[in-house]
């Protein structure tokens, strides 16, 4: 008897994905950079590098520091600006073998709305991620994701410009991520990306100087995974839209933690710097895991760690 392969298909708003694995923004170029080393037909989608209204030179160097179980970065949203990007970059993306999700960053609500509108018009762009949580551009980049009211306003403004799936990327550098998530949902977000990098810093004890040109950076990699799993868990209890879980996922087991905590899909970033074959391996192992347990679809396990839980959350009945 032939048993059907368990389905890994997921839906984020209107966006149907063959696999629940996104490649994190800024970690995978436009996909083309990794095409010689990874099978792009075996990934869910590539989230493109963030683009802003005006061109940005990016941060001074060094921009990267390897830390225990992590990577500290401060790239600073280097990008050619939306006009150049739409005219000269996006057309090159037309024949990618997987869906592309555009990423929008900004410094004002107008910026976000403008860039979102221009980008969403482009045929190769299947959906939009609003990066309201970049920690590496002074205080401005992350301001939106740290304030429920600003989150609501920026999401509402972006929502008004497009019907394409709108994913809002949240910051872990907040006191109550659930309250931000609720605002984003109410303002029209189709899905939430949880989480962006965790703010961090490293100092060179020989030179007595910060090791990043930008002084502070965003930490990614396995070091932040438990932080991210908790954030997904908390957000999943607060909203009913899908969550794209991310933060240090390197294996199918890591990904499963996120699904069980409440993520509908996951995003793989830093792990691509360890081995570009990781996303394909995760997909194969997720399928095997579901098969072993006789489950038909990845959706069957989403949020199961949230069921019948005993502990502090049981007393928070007003959240559920």
- Binding residues for other proteins (CB under 8 A): 26-29, 33-34, 36-37, 49, 54-58, 61-66, 69, 71, 73, 75, 78, 80-81, 83-84, 88, 250, 270, 272-277
How many Å apart are CA 70 and CA 224, to the nearest integer? Answer: 8
Closest approach of other proteins to the CB of residue 107, in Å: 15
Rounded to a whole number of angstroms, the minimum distance from the CB of residue 97 to other proteins is: 16
Q: Which of 241, 252, 244 is nearest to 285 (CA)?
A: 252
* Distance in angstroms (rounded) separating the CA atoms of residues 151 and 120: 20
**Residue 81 near residue 51, CB atoms below 8 Å:** yes
Q: How far is CA 119 from CA 104, 107, 170, 308, in A?
A: 8, 17, 20, 42
Assess whether 122 carries a catalytic annotation: no
Output 1 or 57, the one with its CB closest to other proteins: 57
Least distance to other proteins, CB of residue 272, Å: 7
Looking at residue 56, the DSSP 8-state letter turns out to be B
Residue (51 or 127) nearer to other proteins, CB? 51
For residue 317, the tally of other CB atoms under 10 A from its CB is 7
b/e per residue 233-272 (b: at least 16 CB within 10 A): bbbbbbbebbbbbbbbbbebebbbbbbbbbbbbbbbbbbb
Nearest residue (CB) to other proteins, 273 versus 313:
273
Report the nearest approach of other proteins to the CB of residue 28 (Å): 5
Residue 182 Cβ vs other proteins, minimum distance, rounded to whole Å = 32
Q: Cβ closer to other proteins: 39 or 117? A: 39
Angle at 37 between CA 104 and CA 27, to 5 degrees: 25
Are residues 228 and 250 in contact, defined by beta-carbon separation less than 8 angstroms?
no
CA dist list (Å): 210 to 1, 12, 63, 121, 229: 62, 40, 11, 41, 29
Query: Could you say which of 27, 98, 116, 134 is catalytic?
Result: 134
Taking the least distance from each CB to other proteins, the nearer of 29 and 188 is 29
Residue 120 CA: distances (Å) to CA of 62, 99, 103, 298, 303: 33, 13, 10, 29, 30
Identify any residues that bridge with 23 across adjacent strands, giving them in sequence order.
46, 268
In three-state secondary structure terms, 225 is helix
Tell me whether residue 36 or residue 317 sits nearer to other proteins (CB atom): 36
Q: Looking at the annotation, which residues are catalytic?
A: 134
């Amino acid at each position: 008897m032939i048993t059907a392969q368990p389905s890994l298909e997921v839906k984020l708003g209107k966006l149907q994905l063959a696999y629940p694995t996104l490649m994190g923004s800024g970690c995978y170029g436009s996909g083309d950079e990794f095409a010689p080393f990874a099978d792009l037909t075996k990934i869910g989608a590539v989230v493109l590098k963030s683009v802003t209204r005006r061109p940005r030179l990016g941060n001074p160097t060094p921009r990267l520091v390897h830390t225990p179980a992590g990577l500290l970065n401060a790239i600073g949203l280097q990008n050619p600006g939306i006009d150049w990007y739409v005219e000269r970059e996006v057309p090159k993306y037309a024949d990618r073998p997987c869906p592309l999700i555009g990423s929008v960053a900004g410094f004002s609500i107008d910026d976000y709305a403008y860039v979102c509108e221009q980008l969403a018009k482009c045929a190769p762009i299947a959906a939009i991620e609003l990066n309201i949580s970049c920690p590496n551009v002074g205080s401005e980049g992350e301001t939106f994701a740290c304030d429920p009211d600003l989150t609501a306003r920026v999401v509402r403004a972006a929502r008004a410009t497009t019907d394409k799936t709108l994913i809002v990327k949240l910051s872990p550098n907040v006191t109550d991520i659930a309250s931000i998530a609720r605002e984003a949902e109410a303002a029209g977000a189709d899905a939430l990306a949880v989480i962006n990098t965790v703010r961090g810093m490293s100092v060179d004890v020989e030179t007595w100087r910060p090791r990043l040109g930008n002084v502070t950076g965003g930490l990614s990699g396995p070091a932040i995974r438990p932080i991210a799993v908790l954030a997904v868990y908390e957000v999943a209890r607060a909203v009913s839209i899908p969550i794209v879980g991310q933060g240090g996922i390197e294996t199918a087991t890591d990904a499963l933690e996120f699904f069980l905590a409440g993520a509908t899909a996951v995003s793989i970033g830093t792990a691509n710097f360890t081995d570009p074959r990781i996303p394909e391996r995760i997909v194969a192992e997720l399928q095997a895991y579901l098969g072993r347990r006789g489950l038909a679809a990845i959706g069957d396990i989403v949020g199961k760690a949230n069921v019948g839980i005993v502990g502090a959350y049981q007393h928070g009945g007003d959240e559920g």
